[in-house]
Amino acid sequence: MASALATDFTNKIVYTDEVAEFSPEVVEEMKSHLVKYPPERKRSALIPLLFVVQRERGWIDNAGVNFLAKFLELEVTDVWETATFYSMFNLRKIGRHHIQICKTLSCKIMGEPEITEHICNKLNIHPGETTADGKFTVTLVECLGSCGTAPMMQIGFDYHEDLTTEKVDQILDSLK
């Protein structure tokens, strides 16, 4: 049924010396995170800065990692070590809208299976895959702290709760 497998968007990481470039505004934003930590503890800013890289480049790529290593005076492997631990960092390209459906117990018993089926049928993909046009990626994730308003999903950073199939249709149709 899948029209496009996630692998269409999987970029095998090629480790080169390429260093990403960011606009002066983005570099300023990155610096604004550094001031939170003691000067000799720059590494503390790594997770917040990985989010900036992900926002700017769409995923955590080799060039972005190389940039952070330089910026924070770390080894490239230090950056990868942290980046590969956390589930919110995408180590492959994903769709423009990342639909993350909670599959943990409260959501599961309150209707997650129907919501997941509805979304996947509508987009014609399986969980873990990206639509052919690169618009949506669907992922099943663990509890997002919305169990009282289950079932729920997060798209990007936005919470969508008390989901019904009608509500899902409205939300997905409103996304560009």
Contact assessment for residue 52 and residue 58, using Cβ atoms and an 8 Å cutoff? no
142 CA to centre of own chain: 14
Q: Is 169 in the site for another protein (CB under 8 A)?
A: no
Token couple for 11: 């970029």
Q: Is 76 in the site for another protein (CB under 8 A)?
A: no
Bridge pairing between strands 158-160 and 153-155:
antiparallel
Give the one residue of 2, 122, 149, 155 binding another protein; rule: CB under 8 A: 149
Q: Is 140 in the site for ligand FES (CB under 6 A)?
A: no
Q: Which residues of 56-83 are buried (b: 16+ CB within 10 A; e: fewer)?
A: bbbebbbebbbbbbebbebeeebbbebb
Give the one residue of 90, 131, 146, 154 binding ligand FES; rule: CB under 6 A: 146
Give the one residue of 50, 72, 107, 172 binding ligand FES; rule: CB under 6 A: 107
- Greatest extent of the chain over all pairs of C-alpha atoms, in Å: 53
Q: Is 165 in the site for another protein (CB under 8 A)?
A: no
Give the one residue of 2, 34, 63, 143 binding ligand FES; rule: CB under 6 A: 143
Q: What SS3 state is found at 153?
A: strand
Q: Pattern of binders to another protein over 12-51, x per CB under 8 A? A: ------------------------x-x--x-xxxxxx-xx
Q: Pattern of binders to ligand FES over 13-52, x per CB under 6 A? A: ----------------------------------------
Q: Is 106 in the site for another protein (CB under 8 A)?
A: yes
Q: Which is nearer to another protein, 15 or 86 (CB)?
A: 86
Cα 153 to Cα 174: distance, rounded to the nearest angstrom? 15
Residue type at position 139: T
DSSP 106-134: HHHHTTHHHHHHHHHHHHT--TT-B-TTS
Q: Is 102 in the site for ligand FES (CB under 6 A)?
A: yes
